[in-house]
A = this chain, B = another copy of it.
C-alpha cells in the first residue's frame, strides 16, 4: 500500500491477544469474535498461530478456527508461522497470508522460538522456496524487538536495516516492525521507519506497537506521519509476549481506530460495531481487564445522549 490518506488496521487480538491466556477460549467463541471483528469493517485479521500445541495450547484448535472463518467475505486472514510445518498447515487450512516471525535479538529469538536468528532466516528461506511459487499466497516477515529488547537493549538502525535486507533479498515484500516490549519512542520510531522505507522502497512496512509504557498511540501517530499505513492492534488492548517480561498490551484497536477516524484518516472501521466486538470479548472473558480507553470511556457524546458530529463532519 502506498502512502495515501487511509490506513489498514490489522486486528491481531485473536492471536497476540489470546496467546498468553491460561483460559482456553472455546473454538466457537474465537470464531464468533473473529466474525464480530470482521463485521466492524476490519479488513485484515490475524486468527492465530500455527505452532506446536505444546508450546501455545491456546492455538490447538487453529485448524478448526480457520475452517470456520476462511470464507468470511472481504477479510484477509493471516496467521503466524514459526516454521515450514506451520506454514504448510496454515496453507492447507486456507490461510493465504502467512507471517513468519523472528527476533532481531539473538537472545530473545533463542527464548521465543528456540533458534538463532541465523537459523530463523534459513527457515524463512525454506518457506519462501516453497510458497513464493503460489501466486495467491503472501509470505510476510515480522521482525521482533526492532525498537528494543529486554536482553540486548537498543539496536543501531544499521543493524535493523541488515535484517530487513536479508528478508527483502529472499523476496519478502511486506515487513512488520515490532516494538515487542514497548521500548519505543516517537523519535526512534520516526528514525527507524524512515530509514527502512527509504532504503527499501519496494517493501511495504507495517508496525506492531505495544502500549506497555503508554506510548503506543504516540508512536503510531509518528509512524503514520513518516508514511506507515499498516498498524497492528488488538481488540480491548489485549496482548503481550510471554517471553518478554514487562511487556503487556498491544495498542487497543478501538483507541487507534478512534484516533484515525477522528483525524479524518480512513480506517474503514465502524467504531460502534467494533465496540460491540469488544463487548463480546468481555462477555467471553469476563475476568479479563481490558485496557482500551475508548471501551471504558465510550465515544464522545452529548450528556443528553444525543450524538454530535465528529470533528471532521461538523458544519
Interface set of A (CB-CB < 8 Å, partner B): 148, 150-154, 156, 181-183, 185-188, 211-215, 217-218, 220-222, 245-246, 248, 252, 255, 258-259, 262-264, 292-294, 297-298, 300-304, 308-309, 311-312, 314
Once A258-B213, A293-B212, A294-B213 are accepted as A-B contacts, the answer to whether A188 and B150 lie under 8 Å apart by CB is no
Q: How far is the CA of A156 from the CA of B215 in the complex (A)?
A: 29
Residue on B nearest A148 in the bound complex, by CB? B300
Once A183-B300, A262-B187, A264-B187 are accepted as A-B contacts, the answer to whether A214 and B213 lie under 8 Å apart by CB is no
Once A212-B293, A217-B217, A293-B213 are accepted as A-B contacts, the answer to whether A302 and B150 lie under 8 Å apart by CB is yes
Q: How far is the CA of A153 from the CA of B252 in the complex (A)?
A: 25
Interface of A is mostly: loop
Q: How far is the CA of A262 from the CA of B213 in the complex (A)?
A: 12
For A151, the chain B residues whose CB sits under 8 A away are 302-304
Most B CB within 10 A of own CB, among A153, A245, A292: A153
Question: Is B187 in contact with A297, judged by CB distance below 8 angstroms?
Answer: no
**Set B186, B245, B311: member contacting A154, Cβ < 8 A:** B311
